Structure 1
Amino acid sequence: MSEALAAPMAGDVAALRADWRARKAALLAPLREAGGSSRGIRAVLRGLARETDAVLRQLWTAADMPASFALVAVGGYGRGELFPHSDVDVLLLLPDGVAVDGDAELTGRIERFIGQCWDIGLEIGSSVRTVAECVAQAAADVTVQTSLLEARAIAGDAALFDEFRQRFRGNLDPQAFFVAKTLEMRQRHNRYENTPYSLEPNCKESPGGLRDLQVILWVANAAGLGSSWEELARKGLATPLEVRQIRLNEALLSQIRARLHLLAGRREDRLVFDLQTAVAESFGYRSRSADNGRLIQRASEALMRRFYWAAKAVSQLNQVLLLNIEERLSGREVEPVPINERFAMRNGMIDVATDDLYQRHPEAILETFLLYQTTVGAQGLSARTLRALYNARQQMDASFRRDPANRATFRAILMQPQGITHAMRLMNQTSVLGRYLWVFRRIVGQMQHDLFHVYTVDQHILMVLRNVRRFFMPEHAHEYPFCSQLAGGWDKPWILYIAALFHDIAKGRGGDHSQLGGSEVRTFCRQHDIPAQDAQLVEFLVREHLTMSRVAQKEDLGDPDVIAGFARRVGDERHLTALYLLTVADIRGTSPKVWNAWKGKLLEDLYRATLRVLGGHAADPHADVEARKREALVQLGLHALPHDAHRRLWETLDVGYFMRHDANEIAWHTRHVSRHLAGLDGDGRAQGGGTLVRARLSPAGEGLQVMVYTPDQPDLFARICGYFDQAGFSILDARIHTTRDQRALDTFQVVSATLPEHNRELIHMVQSQLQETLERAGPLPTPGRGRVSRRVRSFPVAPRVSLAPDEKAQRWLLTVSASDRVGLLYSIARVLARHHINLQLAKVSTLGERVEDTFLIDGAELQQNKRQIQIETELLEALAG
């Protein structure tokens, strides 16, 4: 027992608490200092456990617990390590036959003991069980079994604890335990999307976290193979190099977790944005800026990259050691089936013929993954192969990368008809991809602070590659039918695979990553003997991979000049189709929140319109308008309207309206507006008032499409935005049109995170509430200050406003970029209304938690420089909130 803890009287809880806090603070002091090595963290955690043991023994004695009982540390505390704010899990172990229920005196002692633990400041987690109950519950629940596996006696009857250990071990089935823990690990990995590279990883539970190391020791311990890394090495399950790497990465992860606890002041195992910078600075990292003040690297980026590399190493070693333990447990020597002189198949795993294969034949490294793709029945790599790859990293040097044989093998991997996604992911997991493609190594573990990517750059690239591959797989055709249809006619999928692999490979270097990536992929294609025509297409895709998304989401697709300009840029149908497929895969690979049906429709509309131009159908607005009118009239004929019901509305509409709306929308508008003008509502009843609002499920397949027909007024757009913000809708698109008789005919595409099950009720609510809002007179309400997310607070986007005339110098293009928040669009609309700006088109693009909105506008005040500056200034103030 610590001498400092022996001094206070057993009943003097206050003195004991003060002393305990002082001892704990002294132990944790090194963690509060900036910098320092991670190597001393184990001593800190073990010291904290020892001091906790001493406190518990003193409280156990003070509670006058029966001599036949035992106090046992379980769970993480049972390992003899304790993090600053982790639970202190203990088991009050009773002899069989002792019943606590009904014994008031014994119950009182136990409650007093546990209560004093809390009074001291221990975050206690306790259970009271007999030996038989422990054995029974362990047999029924693998979580209990795991907790008891590392049980450690603290106080009380040593003989009782020994009895418990013998009976617990005697009922433990190592094989069943291994299966249960590996299944549990897979489920846990699934919860974290099977990647350690999320932007807010859990340093304990995420793949590659501390829990993955604990699983190894748990299953080894249960199998009697050792309870420490050194024991695993002595049993031949781990090499000395692997043990050193495990120790190094375990220490770093433990150091991060301990500092997280201290900075949060509570148990916090997630590297949340709010704490990343503080943790990084506690390690001594500082943000770096260039001479011109441009931020080169945040302190948090340096820490996170170090974390990701550690997690990646843990993931690799976890796989190697678990496969070794599984083979040892099975005890069966499976006869290998030779694949060639270098490799064999063993239990569905590709196995190296000799442990030193890669040292003698480095070219076999890439051959491993080609075999993984092409060998029927191959499910993965054996433990021996994974270990050999881990030990062969130094072989993959500059000469390895220049070797023509390796370049030919890598090209063959890319050109295989199947297995590309699994092969590339496995190559990245084993560090082979980054060592062969040195430019890829530079973006492994690199964070992206653009508020819409939720993966590191390397994981995003592999996600895009996966998405492209799925376009070519019949079993995924239902996800994106049009993409699958186009992919079905594409002859060289590997062109798209290379483009996916390189499209973001120059992120983080400064400058335009698309252009830098184009240079990198040009070099790659030359080195790997890619035919010139195919190489030109790959380079085009990398350089232009953002173009189609920008045009679709920010420009007026109803303008023939926009389509013609984009057609000139892509050049032909082959380039257009490839760019479309890569663009869809790229947007889908950023975040589940970024892709939506409306973006899909915009991209498909742009593709089809451009294809018509490339096919020789020169843009003819008059012919397009007449075709849309004819199709709209056919649809109107299905609704029993008088044959000339459309005339009154159509005579007030110009070519711009018909170019911006398809036939289905024109027919929908006409059907309701013609009834409105005739004095009837949609059900044939008498209609009063000057405002018409109609809503329907969006033809795009997501959200609602809302039409507003009302006398025009300067602040109309602002009032509509105000309603949608208040009602919890996000506006994805707005097409604003003013008729010749000065009425607004506006169409909105809106979505809501809380769409009710009954869409009819939602539609009725929007129609009635929005109409009431527009008919109510009065000044515009003051916008509320919407809350911003933790991520936005941690990585704010500097608000930007750009105001420039369009190519015809007839209207102005307003582009704004800012962190998203509730009420943002309404704040922008109020500024435009205040300056009598007419809005003709609004494209609202929400990229995760960043918005990039584009508005086509005109107005007298835009012709004066002084007024322009004032408008831009007010918009920046509105964006800043």
Structure 2
Amino acid sequence: MSEPQIPDRRAIIDRKALASRIEALAGEQGAKARPQVVAALKEALEAGRTEMERRLEARPSAGHAIAGGYSFLVDQLVRIIHEYVTHYVYPAANRSSGERLAVMAVGGYGRAEMAPHSDVDIAFLVGERRNAWCEQVVEAMLYLLWDLGLKVGHSTRTLDEAIRLAKDDLTIRTALLEGRYVWGDRDLYSEGERRFTLEVVKGNERAFLTQKLQERNARHKRMGDSRYVVEPNVKDGKGGLRDLQTLYWIGKFIHRVRSASELVDSGLLTRNEYRTFRRAERFLLAVRCHMHAITGRAEDRLTFDLQRQVSERMNFADRPGKSAVERFMQFYFLQVKHVGSLTGVFLAHIEDDLATRAARSGFFATFRQKPRELKGYRVFGGRIAAPSDDYFRKDPVRLIEVFQLAEAEELEIHPETMRQAARDAKLIDHGVREDKRANALFLDLLSGRNDPETVLRWMNEAGVFGRFVPDFGKVNAQMQFDMYHHYTVDEHTIRAIGLLSQIEKGELKADHPRATRLIHKVASRRVAYVAALLHDIAKGRGGDHSVLGADVARELCPRFGLSESETELVAWLVLHHLLMSHTAQKRDLTDPKTIEDYVGQVQSIERLRHLAILTAVDIRAVGPGTWNSWKGQLLGELYDAASERLRLGHMRHGRKEKVAAKKAQVAEMLGEKDHLVAELGDTFDDSYWIAEPLDIVALNLVHYAAARDLDHALSVHCEFYEARGATLVTVIAADHPGLFYRIAGGIHLAGGNIIDARIHTTRTGWALDNFLVQDPHGAPFHEEGQLERLKTSIADALANRVDLAPKLAQRPLPHSRSKAFDVSPRVLFDNKASNRFTVIEVNARDRPALLNRLARVLFESRLVVHSAHITHYGERAVDTFYVTDLTGGKLVEGERQNTIEARLVEAAGDAMQARLEDA
């Protein structure tokens, strides 16, 4: 865009010296000199690249200088190649007027923004018509560039063709817009530039703007439609380099600017905004250059493993509570946030500008719609605007008010007012933060009835949000370096508030029927919104963010105007915001002790309601696909059991009554087969009847009766279980030690992930095990072929027809990126979580067949597994086992527990995986 400052250019490539060398070779040997010419060019290219790599290492943030340096290197090579071809390969002493050729750089090369492995995009412009000489020269130049190993994108067009195609094709129009003269016939290039402005640009400004914005929106959708995705695309992602380029293209097309700095002269950017533009561009270019250098290819996706390496190369260091990679990514997201803010203001400004031009020249040129007044602001065309440049300076509380009014009245904020808000955000000081009116306005916005999510995002982009709530400012662009969270903390929080608003309006009833009911039953809806705002407010500080966040809540809530009881409730919710999801996903909900312990912490229906709502929005705001019917079912079961216990002061029925009631309900469900309950009811002990849902019991009884009638030694039944968003796999076999880990291995070999397992033994010595299984993407198996593969794989594993360990080790983990993370295995033993069982929780890196490996250790340690609960948090898996020893007792503390812990840690560790893969 702007001419980059490239110091000591001759150290990159000395064109005169290289040209003299090639001239000498060609003069002596003529056409035979080609191999030596290629060798000389290659040598210069490699020397130039080596110099640029040295400069990138020495100045790791100098994006413009490095990208410009690579472009300069290619420029000089193209010029030398052109001279060599036109003088020594296809010399033309008396060229006709048609034998004219100009070489243009287009694309990233045209902008002088080249990373080490960027394509070299060249447009060859020829005179009035195509001719043999031009085609020969172009072909010879291209072959030489290819011989150097460069990836060349090229086109050859006459001037008339180029203009005609530019009118019809947006890509060609954009390429010519940023075309840069490199070498050849300068008059021809200048004529092309003149005709492009007159014939393509003039009168088509609005069409170009519309098409460019459509193109940008489609690209954003493809890339995740948020600038805060945790593995962003530096080039094409939201807030990336392409967005900055779009601003420049639009500015150049509409205002004929030649460099980014001229956007200031045309009034599209302020001097300060231009500095922000250049700073963001410099950083993003530098990051892209490092990515290319590390991977040795044109890589634009900033993956987790690259984030670590780039942060090291750019000299980011660890700080208390924040690793180097998290600090690097926070800085990255701050830059793309600035790009977002610039884009919004810039585009709205352009639209205003075009509208003004149209009004001046149109039929209604003399007609002006009168703006209406709203509390001192001007409202016009669906936008709210500050009436004067010093409006916020006179009363900084208005910086909160303008956003609150925008939400309440469903208005957009005028770009000039957004610009003023961003400029004046620094006026928000302690006095404004403590101002009662300001806090009341903020609370009204936060819990707004229309679209608080969008307006809070605007407020965040203007820098007002972080100034008014400094604790939120600290998590601005704060990345969570894991594969579970898709967004930065601020984006996750704003999305959670938006989801809460949608739930309250009934827009997510299908996915969240319980939360949709509960939000209208809570005593204070403000509590729900403030809790959503503060639940992750203390991330990145070191220490437990829930504990630290509760302290922040106790400080902030009174300031926002919440009562003492509301403040206490918000603080409790922030402190325990993970309690419900952890209990539902990692504990056995049929164990009475689980419900007792959970209710003991929750203690009131109001807390339970709020926690259920917060848990739903928190999980869903993590990213696409993290909420599913299985999680909804688990959370619903926990809510219902806890609600009954809290309302009645006890569980409605004792164990005996529950079993009898369940048998009666199953008999009713079975209809004509209701006799199976009487015949088989006592075959299963009470724990089976309490643990399994009614519909599964009904399926199990039919299946078990058929297996016994046919005298099958092994019976495997698989079916799509819609209620849980999973596949139900039931295995009936003669009980023997090691059955569980072998079944788990068979399921893993068929490509299944076990999300829940219940293990039962009948009084007659048969095992009946129920597994809920999903594919690696969290979807159920339901095609006939998939179900058959599951059955066959389990049968093979139980019959020892496959050697499980090496076969499982060869299965790739669906998230091989998990190797970018340090996840040290951790094992916890808990004898208080259940009255009957020892609960063993294993936290480890997710890997192929982790459950099978852990279950094998438990089997070899002579422990009986009664149920298993499996939870995935991106790269991390948490497997929970309810176990007893062979006598049915709990596992007591001591040497045996220490030995089992050591073996589980080894089984879950990287060393074990490596050994198995080698085997």
The whole-number CA distance in structure 2 between the counterparts of 1:863 and 1:367 is 61
Residue 180 of structure 2 is aligned to residue 152 of structure 1: yes
Task: Using the TM superposition, give the Cα deviation of residue 357 of structure 1 relative to its aligned residue in structure 2, in angstroms.
Answer: 1.3
Give the alignment partner of residue 263 of structure 1, picking from 294, 299, 302: 294
Aligned to 2:236: 205
Moved more, 837-846 or 509-518: 509-518
**3-state secondary structure, aligned to 2:519:** helix
Specify whether residues 806 and 536 from structure 1 end up closer, same or farther in structure 2 by C-alpha distance, changes over 3 A only.
closer
Q: Cα deviation per residue 1:206-229 (whole Å; 9 max; x = unaligned)? A: 222222221111111111342323
Aligned to 2:895: 866
Aligned to 1:796: 822
The whole-number CA distance in structure 2 between the counterparts of 1:421 and 1:309 is 19
The whole-number CA distance in structure 2 between the counterparts of 1:634 and 1:249 is 67
Residue 763 of structure 2 is aligned to residue 732 of structure 1: no
Specify whether residues 589 and 808 from structure 1 end up closer, same or farther in structure 2 by C-alpha distance, changes over 3 A only.
closer
In 1, are the aligned partners of 2:108 and 2:114 still within 8 Å (CA)?
yes
Residue 813 of structure 2 is aligned to residue 784 of structure 1: no
Q: What letter is aligned with 1:356?
A: D
Aligned to 1:629: 663
The whole-number CA distance in structure 2 between the counterparts of 1:663 and 1:347 is 58
Aligned to 1:476: 508
Give the alignment partner of residue 188 of structure 1, picking from 201, 209, 219: 219
**3-state secondary structure, aligned to 1:736:** strand
Residue 876 of structure 2 is aligned to residue 850 of structure 1: yes
How high is the TM-score relative to the length of structure 1? 0.92
Q: What letter is aligned with 1:311?
A: V
Give the alignment partner of residue 379 of structure 2, picking from 334, 337, 345: 345
The whole-number CA distance in structure 2 between the counterparts of 1:474 and 1:840 is 40
Moved more, 183-192 or 384-393: 183-192
Aligned to 2:401: 367
Task: Using the TM superposition, give the Cα deviation of residue 703 of structure 1 relative to its aligned residue in structure 2, in angstroms.
Answer: 2.1
Specify whether residues 449 and 651 from structure 1 end up closer, same or farther in structure 2 by C-alpha distance, changes over 3 A only.
same
Moved more, 606-615 or 118-127: 118-127
Give the alignment partner of residue 762 of structure 1, picking from 779, 783, 786: 786
Give the alignment partner of residue 725 of structure 2, picking from 680, 698, 702: 702
Q: Cα deviation per residue 1:750-793 (whole Å; 9 max; x = unaligned)? A: 01248799634433443455345435579865442554545321
Aligned to 1:820: 846
Residue-pair matches, total? 855
Give the alignment partner of residue 135 of structure 1, picking from 132, 151, 163: 163
The whole-number CA distance in structure 1 between the counterparts of 2:397 and 2:210 is 36
**3-state secondary structure, aligned to 2:192:** helix
Task: Using the TM superposition, give the Cα deviation of residue 632 of structure 1 relative to its aligned residue in structure 2, in angstroms.
Answer: 0.2
**3-state secondary structure, aligned to 2:182:** strand
**3-state secondary structure, aligned to 2:768:** strand
In 1, are the aligned partners of 2:745 and 2:797 still within 8 Å (CA)?
no
Q: Cα deviation per residue 1:62-87 (whole Å; 9 max; x = unaligned)? A: 22267412211112222234332211
Q: What RMSD in Å do the two structures reach over aligned CA positions? A: 2.4
Q: What letter is aligned with 1:742?
A: G
Aligned to 2:151: 123
Aligned to 1:5: 18
Aligned to 2:96: none
In 2, are the aligned partners of 1:274 and 1:790 still within 8 Å (CA)?
no
Task: Using the TM superposition, give the Cα deviation of residue 546 of structure 1 relative to its aligned residue in structure 2, in angstroms.
Answer: 0.7
Residue 325 of structure 2 is aligned to residue 300 of structure 1: yes
The whole-number CA distance in structure 1 between the counterparts of 2:824 and 2:792 is 38
In 2, are the aligned partners of 1:709 and 1:746 still within 8 Å (CA)?
yes
In 2, are the aligned partners of 1:91 and 1:127 still within 8 Å (CA)?
yes
The whole-number CA distance in structure 2 between the counterparts of 1:706 and 1:336 is 69
Aligned to 1:58: 80
Specify whether residues 28 and 570 from structure 1 end up closer, same or farther in structure 2 by C-alpha distance, changes over 3 A only.
same
The whole-number CA distance in structure 2 between the counterparts of 1:708 and 1:47 is 66
Task: Using the TM superposition, give the Cα deviation of residue 108 of structure 1 relative to its aligned residue in structure 2, in angstroms.
Answer: 4.6
The whole-number CA distance in structure 1 between the counterparts of 2:783 and 2:283 is 52
Q: What letter is aligned with 1:636?
A: L
Task: Using the TM superposition, give the Cα deviation of residue 176 of structure 1 relative to its aligned residue in structure 2, in angstroms.
Answer: 0.7
The whole-number CA distance in structure 2 between the counterparts of 1:673 and 1:269 is 55
Aligned to 1:742: 765
Q: Cα deviation per residue 1:517-564 (whole Å; 9 max; x = unaligned)? A: 112112212112212332232222111111111111122211223213
Specify whether residues 655 and 374 from structure 1 end up closer, same or farther in structure 2 by C-alpha distance, changes over 3 A only.
same
What does 1:160-171 correspond to in 2, within 5 Å?
A: 160-169=188-197, 170-171=199-200
Moved more, 394-403 or 335-344: 335-344
In 2, are the aligned partners of 1:336 and 1:344 still within 8 Å (CA)?
no
Aligned to 2:10: none
The whole-number CA distance in structure 1 between the counterparts of 2:766 and 2:712 is 13
In 1, are the aligned partners of 2:731 and 2:769 still within 8 Å (CA)?
yes
Specify whether residues 761 and 277 from structure 1 end up closer, same or farther in structure 2 by C-alpha distance, changes over 3 A only.
closer
What does 1:23-34 correspond to in 2, within 5 Å?
A: 23-33=48-58
In 1, are the aligned partners of 2:337 and 2:461 still within 8 Å (CA)?
yes
What does 1:33-72 correspond to in 2, within 5 Å?
A: 33=58, 38=61, 40-64=62-86, 67-72=99-104
**3-state secondary structure, aligned to 1:846:** strand
Moved more, 274-283 or 577-586: 274-283
Moved more, 532-541 or 431-440: 532-541
Task: Using the TM superposition, give the Cα deviation of residue 803 of structure 1 relative to its aligned residue in structure 2, in angstroms.
Answer: 2.4
Residue 346 of structure 2 is aligned to residue 321 of structure 1: yes
The whole-number CA distance in structure 1 between the counterparts of 2:590 and 2:150 is 67
Aligned-residue sequence identity (percent) comes to: 32
How high is the TM-score relative to the length of structure 2? 0.89
What does 1:602-621 correspond to in 2, within 5 Å?
A: 602-616=634-648, 618-619=650-651, 620-621=654-655
Q: What letter is aligned with 1:877?
A: E
Specify whether residues 805 and 564 from structure 1 end up closer, same or farther in structure 2 by C-alpha distance, changes over 3 A only.
closer
The whole-number CA distance in structure 2 between the counterparts of 1:244 and 1:826 is 56
Q: What letter is aligned with 1:314?
A: V
Specify whether residues 560 and 860 from structure 1 end up closer, same or farther in structure 2 by C-alpha distance, changes over 3 A only.
closer
The whole-number CA distance in structure 1 between the counterparts of 2:802 and 2:215 is 60
Aligned to 2:28: none
Specify whether residues 618 and 225 from structure 1 end up closer, same or farther in structure 2 by C-alpha distance, changes over 3 A only.
same
Specify whether residues 108 and 701 from structure 1 end up closer, same or farther in structure 2 by C-alpha distance, changes over 3 A only.
farther
Aligned to 1:600: 632
Specify whether residues 68 and 322 from structure 1 end up closer, same or farther in structure 2 by C-alpha distance, changes over 3 A only.
same
What does 1:209-608 correspond to in 2, within 5 Å?
A: 209-288=240-319, 296-330=321-355, 331-332=357-358, 335=369, 337-340=371-374, 342-376=376-410, 378=411, 380-490=412-522, 492-608=524-640
The whole-number CA distance in structure 1 between the counterparts of 2:170 and 2:249 is 11
Moved more, 20-29 or 123-132: 20-29
What does 1:704-723 correspond to in 2, within 5 Å?
A: 704-723=727-746
Specify whether residues 454 and 756 from structure 1 end up closer, same or farther in structure 2 by C-alpha distance, changes over 3 A only.
closer
Contiguous gaps of at least 5 residues in structure 1: 290-295, 680-686
Aligned to 1:293: none
Specify whether residues 152 and 775 from structure 1 end up closer, same or farther in structure 2 by C-alpha distance, changes over 3 A only.
closer
The whole-number CA distance in structure 2 between the counterparts of 1:475 and 1:837 is 48
In 2, are the aligned partners of 1:452 and 1:849 still within 8 Å (CA)?
yes
